Amino acid sequence: MAEPRIRPIESSHIADLIRIADETNLNHWSAAGYLEELRNPHSIMLRLADDENQTIGFVVGRIVASNDDDSSVDAEIYNIGVTEPLLGRGLGQTLLDSFIDKCLDAGVRAIWLEVRCSNLRAIRIYERNGFESISIRRDLYKEPREDGILMRRSL
C-alpha cells in the first residue's frame, strides 16, 4: 500500500465513516449527524485515503470558543478511527497530527477529547501526544455503558 493521504470528508464518505466507527466501537453518529457537521464552518473533518482513494480512517472535530476566555479558541475531537485491519500501523497518529496542524493554523489554544476508559491503545497514543487526563465522566458511553476520560492537550 502506498502512503495514505489526508483528504477532506465529503457527504459521499459518510457510509465509510459509519462503517469504521462501528468496526472500532466509536461513539455512534448517524448519517444526519455527519451531514450536519459537514455544514458547520468550524468543523475539522479529515479522512485518510489509500492509493485507491478508499477511506481507511477519519477524524471529526470542531473549533469552539474557550470556556476560560472569549478571545481564545479550543478544539474538540469527537471521533477518530482507523479501519480494523490497519490498526497498529501509525495511521491514527497521521490523523491526529493532521488535526493538530489544522488547530495550530487556526490559533487553537487547547484540544479536548473523551475516550472510553477501556480504550487503552487510544489512551496511550493520546498520552504520547501530550494529552493529560482531566477527569472521569461516569457512564458517558451508552453502548456499551462505560465511563469516559476527559483529556486535554495545550498547544
User: Hey, which residues are catalytic here?
Assistant: 114, 126
Q: What strands, in cross-sheet order, belong to the sheet with 145-154?
A: 5-8, 43-49, 55-65, 73-82, 108-116, 145-154, 132-142
Backbone angles phi, psi at 73, to 5 degrees: -125, 150
- Look up residue 59 and give its three cell numbers: 477524524
